[in-house]
Chains A and B, each alone.
Chain A
Amino acid sequence: METILLKNIQNPNSADIAEYKKAGGYASIRKALGMEPQQVIDEVKKAGLRGRGGAGFPVAMKWTFASADPKFPKYLLCNADEGEPGTFKDRPILEKNPHLLIEGMIISGHALKAEYGYIYLRGEYPAAKHILNAAIQQAYDTNLLGENILGKGITFHLAVHQGAGAYICGEETALIESLEGDKGQPRIKPPFPVNVGVFSKPTVVNNVETLSNLPYIIEVGGETYAKIGTPDCPGPKIFCISGHVEKPGIYELPMGTKLRDIIYTHCGGIKGGKKLKAVIPGGISTPVLPPDKIDCPMDFVNMPKHGSMLGSGAVIVMDESVCLVKVCHRALKFFEHESCGKCTPCREGTGWLRAILGRIENGEGMEGDIDTMLAVSANMLGKTFCPLGDGAASVVQNFIKHFRPEFEEHIRAKKCVVNG
């Protein structure tokens, strides 16, 4: 397949505007600025674009809400927090193809009649900050940003706001709080950001990858774009594969590519010919799958039917050498560390689960621990303020669901039964 999002990123100067333009970049912008905002939204609707940040929300719908709100100014926020462990799909765009994102944001800004955009960049990407700032400067210098863009009477300002190490800031309302100079804790919804977002103004938050689809959609039109991928989830998707495969890395493939094909066809199978033990298909918050469940099409609609979620498309492959109690424990350490502390079940539950898992891993498991963990996660699931807590609970539930005997053996043997 011809790559759309990762086009040209292997070129040495891919982040430079000249290089980007040489490859046809910033062509869509002229086209888009010649369209009425509503026409842009209509194209995106035809394209069937869904958000790539994890939830798969239809982009055109979100835009329509924000554009219908009478308040001004409006804000467009690019979610470049990429915090979901296992995920490294936005980073190549940010570092190697920043103008694709900027072009996408200008187009979206026009569609939304938003005059201000911010890229909320995670603190862990210091290189990307410099690259983005340089690219933004180039765009300002060439009148692609700022006032009266390309003489079309359209204004769009763009700046980078750097996070400081908080996974929860990927959640859009937490991101907004953080942008406003506060702790990144999720807000009560409603009101939704599309009505009362950053600085109390209508705000759209979209992922880097989502926004990077726009130049192409405008270039070829929504209908042509929609032919890529599956009917419910059209378009290309960047998958990032890590762990025990021969060729880990990023792969731009059509939505709906089967997990098995990703692992065995594109990534060359399990490293060293070992046996596959488990796969986390969409970033650490998504339910783990055992080897017999990997014949699932990777998209937002099909994955839930197969017991997991597409999430960010971050596939973590684990071979037989991996101790799943340890993985589960590490995952809960992450959730405990990243829980924002606002709501009781997540704040207390993540720590409790982590503590039990830690004990089991250390050979101090007790009879009843598994039941306690199931009870604790049940008390969390569906009761937390935001999906982070749900994620933590479902990770534990699914590890136990698919690999209960391994947990039981750890408890019984009072040591790791995988690696001794």
Chain B
Amino acid sequence: MITITINDREIKLEKPVSVLEAARSAGIKIPTLCYHEQLERYGGCRLCLVEVEKMPRLQTACTLMVADGMVVRTETEQIADVRRGILEFLLINHPLDCPYCDKAGECDLQDLVEKYGPGKGRFKEKKRKVPESLQDPVIVRNMDRCIMCTRCVRMCEGLQGASAIAVINRGGHSHIEPFSSGRFDCEYCGNCVSVCPVGAIMSRLHRHSYRPWQVKEQYETVCPYCGVGCTVVTQVRDDVIKRVIPKLGSTVNNGMLCSRGRFGYEFVGSKDRLSVPLIRKNGALAEATWEEAITLVAKKLGNIKSTYGSDAVAGMASPRCTNEDNYVLQKFLRVAVGTNNVDTTARTGFAGAQSFIENIFGQGATANIISGLANSDTVMVIGGDPTTVNPILGLQIRACARRGGQVMTVGEFEGLRIFSPTKLLPRQFTETFLLEGIVTALREKKGLSGANAPLEGKIKSINVTAADVAAKSGVSEKQLAAYVDLLAAATTFSIVIGKETVQSIGGSYKLLLLAAITYLANGRVYLLSEKANEQGALDMGCAPDMLPGYRPVAYPEFTKKYGAVWHAELSEKPGLNLFEMIEAAEKGTLRAMYVMGENPVCNIPNSGRVEKAFKNLDFLIVQDIFLTETAKLADVVLPALGWGEKDGTFTNMERRIQRVKKSVQREGMEDWKIVAEIAKNMGYRMDYTKAEEVFHEIAKVSPLYRDLSYEDIEKGENIYPYKGEPLRDVKEDIQIDTSAVSAAAGKLYLKVERPLFHSGTMSTHAASLMNIYPHAVARIGAGRAKMLSLTEGDVVTVRSKAGALSLFIAIEKAGDDLSVTISNNFESKGAFRLADYTLDQVTKAPCIDAVEISIEKVTA
């Protein structure tokens, strides 16, 4: 116990902290500027100087650690003078443009000057002048307001790990540069904006439309983009979200955000939003009333059901919609229509991988705390760049590296490059051999404990020598041995698996090998999750074979139980998965589809095929917030309220249930409400009046969410296994798909880009993200480009068996010569147009890593 005295008050401290932290813990305020609780200590601004007995000089409270018996004074006349003096220094070159500055009202400098003075300046010399810069797509800089606290730089280097900015020059000439201009690794996270204490770095999105005191409401909610589920705060004025900011101390992201989370909110108020129902009349979509639309849908579905049977109808739920929405949709299909034909695009990767891993390690095996990555001593990454797919999770891996942990990858991930991961780069399509080699060597090193018999059975059957690995994959025996040594030395091991692995040929076998590595290294698994509520949609039973809480439909005890709560008789026949739905639509056995909050024509591989299949349906209902490619094909389009406009919950990849809150008022209905209305019209009552009531029902039926309430969630009882018991340890026989391909010389293959600045197609309705990444491009390695005489900006036709796209070329200096990388974020220009696939027989994920393509320059 350390006892110190501050301003005659005794303060007792458990562990050594800085004098500043000690003072704050006792409610004593010491002004600061360069200090920020998230950042490394700096001690540069000198505002926090205090008197300490027995020390001749004044000391900075932010850097001085407490020592037993220390006597500190923070409010003497000398100290007041010092503060005034420092503030005067900070103002001499400051433009004093507060009336014009968006920061006014929440500016630390303004507040401090108001409190300590000086009332007037004595500076009669020329001021430094720096013009306002609008060079960045999302940030506006007024660098003559900068006070050189370097908080932005310490944020960018130390926490974000982008190192896109630095202090340039020195002394009075120092300034912060270069931000983006595209050239300097800027990730546009805007975390520098969060920590800038003055108006030097601000978001461009609310320039001159934001005044802190005019913000009447703010809501703590969850980011709509990826499966990390960051806490964001929406700040609203006149029913418009003016700004989205992170919250210090929030559990998942503790004050950090990525570019999507911070700047991607503009889709909410977008002009392109659907506002009235549309009904296809004479081949064209025309505006209709809600009543018309709902009765039409109810009638049509009723007819199809009675003519062709319930299973002629299918529904697609949404990883963008809330748990409540998804729950109601699957219930609607199961009770009002009477089919288990429900699935989501989580099927394209996350769902299958999760059930595969859970089958080996038990339910909840992938529900690991994201911050655990930073505390791991070894993190292995495969199948996707976590810093772009799940950026805030990516930061945890960077933090692991910074703390001296081992980061190891299979493959090259740009976002981890400067963290110098230990990496293995196997030749194309030889990853499996490499992983087999790792498993073999690791098993020899670590032995088997006998804890997991089915898995050990598989592990024992794997025998690939290092020499074999070297011959096939090009990874040398030495490299492999070094890698395995690191794995064997790990004490807290984590493995991060991205979709590229799941969506590759032999994906389930690779997952088995990765599970084996995890098992041998005694680690835990993280599955990258692209959309905000993939986990939730699965938890809600948006799967053809599972009821909410992963109760198999094929077990009568469960269908009976759920049927009793739902007052309906449930089908015990597993429904069609996503891909089977498409096949059935092609064949004509599926007659109608209800697509909620999803854009399958873009988001399912081989989009052309999906489009054709959908056109073959008798009746297509699309419920969305935008007129997507899929919606354009619909017979009825139902406009829903979107994120920011409705209440509910999301469940993130850690299986943390979090509240999504309504921030702005908009006319219309929530997804669940629309579905409930249709159900009512079909004669099945769903009388929920608000999302919370839906959640009550979820908490009643799903063992996973048992007895939870919104209150519990707010209190933080929101992380798996919640109040309910974890489900049984499903250990069925481990099935694998060992399909394989080999690379054909000279061929080009398609690679799907998962960019930092986009997510699905929703982000393309956010103007700022579009400014950063405006249109689809085909990225090609410099070597290949040269071979094909392509230069940056050329237009090419990229062709595969499945389709063709015309795209601009972007040349990647470090890109390989075997692939062309295209994102799947731009409607009608998505990589999935080209992505013909086969299905992994176990995970049912589409394998899209062997799509051969050709590229051809379009001559002007």
Contacts and interface: CB of A to CB of B under 8 A. Distances in A.
Query: Is there a direct interface between A and B, measured as CB atoms under 8 Å apart in the complex?
Result: yes
A73 interface: no
Which of A188, A337, A344: most chain B CB closer than 10 A? A344
A383 B43 contact: no
A169 B86 CA distance: 25
B57 interface: yes
Given A336-B172, A383-B82, A343 B46 contact: yes
B167 A345 contact: no
Interface stretch (A126-134, A209-217, A347-355): A347-355
Contact of A352 (B44, B65, B86, B123): B123
A339 B41 contact: no
B502 interface: no
A255 to B, nearest CB: 25
Contact of B93 (A348, A359, A379, A382): A348
A341 B85 contact: no
Given A188-B41, A383-B58, A344 B46 contact: yes
Nearest to A340: B170
Interface in B44-58: 44-47, 49, 57-58
Contacts of B45: 343-344
A112 interface: no
A68 interface: no
A339 B85 contact: no
Contacts of B170: 166, 183, 339-341
Contacts of B216: none
A277 B521 CA distance: 77
Interface in A120-169: 166
A372 interface: yes
A209 to B, nearest CB: 27
A343 B149 CA distance: 8
A30 interface: no
A86 to B, nearest CB: 21
A350 B89 CA distance: 10
Contact of B89 (A166, A338, A348, A378): A348
Contacts of B173: 341
Given A352-B125, A372-B122, A379-B85, A347 B171 contact: yes
Nearest to A390: B57
Contacts of A166: 170
B89 A341 contact: no
Which of A338, A343, A366: most chain B CB closer than 10 A? A343
A338 B171 contact: yes
A341 B86 contact: no
A195 to B, nearest CB: 14
A339 B125 CA distance: 19
Contacts of A220: none
B43 A341 contact: no
B124 interface: yes
Contacts of B65: 190
B43 A385 contact: yes
A198 B423 CA distance: 28
Interface string A176-205: 000000010000101000000000000000
Contacts of B148: 341, 344, 347
B171 A341 contact: yes
A102 to B, nearest CB: 32
B736 interface: no
Contact of B49 (A336, A337, A356, A383): A383
A59 B147 CA distance: 39
Contacts of A64: none
B90 interface: yes
A121 B801 CA distance: 65
Contact of A340 (B41, B58, B171): B171
Contacts of B25: none
Contacts of B171: 336-341, 347, 350-351
Given A339-B172, A343-B45, A383-B49, A188 B63 contact: yes
B88 interface: yes
Contacts of A382: 57-58
A379 B89 CA distance: 9
B734 interface: no
Contacts of B172: 336, 339, 341, 347-348, 350-351
A169 to B, nearest CB: 11
Interface in A382-419: 382-385
Which of B65, B86, B147, B169: most chain A CB closer than 10 A? B86
A355 B122 CA distance: 13
A131 B178 CA distance: 39
A375 B122 CA distance: 10
Interface string B620-664: 000000000000000000000000000000000000000000000
B174 interface: yes
Nearest to A375: B122
A187 to B, nearest CB: 9
B92 interface: yes
A355 B148 CA distance: 20
A342 interface: yes
B182 to A, nearest CB: 25
Contact of A348 (B90, B126, B169): B90
Nearest to B63: A188
A366 B124 CA distance: 10
B664 to A, nearest CB: 42
B174 A345 contact: no
A161 to B, nearest CB: 19
Nearest to A186: B43
B42 to A, nearest CB: 8
Interface in A98-121: none
Interface in A295-350: 336-345, 347-350
A340 to B, nearest CB: 6
Nearest to A338: B171
B174 A347 contact: yes
A168 to B, nearest CB: 8
A190 to B, nearest CB: 8
Contacts of A336: 171-172
A328 to B, nearest CB: 16
Contacts of A348: 89-90, 92-93, 172
Contacts of B42: 188, 342
Contacts of A366: 124
A191 to B, nearest CB: 10
Nearest to B126: A355
A286 B167 CA distance: 30
A279 B739 CA distance: 87
B174 to A, nearest CB: 4
Contacts of A385: 43-44, 46
Nearest to A351: B172
Contacts of B41: 188
A362 to B, nearest CB: 12
A342 B174 CA distance: 9
Contacts of B90: 344, 348
Nearest to A369: B124
B496 to A, nearest CB: 29
A167 to B, nearest CB: 10
A334 to B, nearest CB: 11
A344 B58 contact: no
23 contacts: A166-B170, A341-B170, A341-B172, A341-B173, A341-B174, A344-B90, A344-B148, A345-B89, A348-B89, A348-B90, A348-B172, A350-B171, A352-B89, A352-B92, A352-B125, A355-B126, A356-B125, A359-B125, A378-B85, A379-B85, A382-B58, A383-B85, A385-B46
Given A341-B171, A347-B171, A384-B46, 20 more contacts: A340-B170, A340-B171, A341-B169, A341-B173, A343-B44, A344-B44, A344-B45, A344-B46, A344-B90, A348-B89, A348-B90, A349-B89, A352-B89, A352-B125, A355-B125, A356-B125, A359-B125, A379-B88, A385-B44, A385-B46
Interface of A: 166, 183, 188, 190, 336-345, 347-352, 355-356, 359, 366, 372, 375, 378-379, 382-385
The 6 closest A-B pairs by CB, nearest first: A379-B85, A348-B89, A339-B171, A355-B125, A341-B174, A351-B172
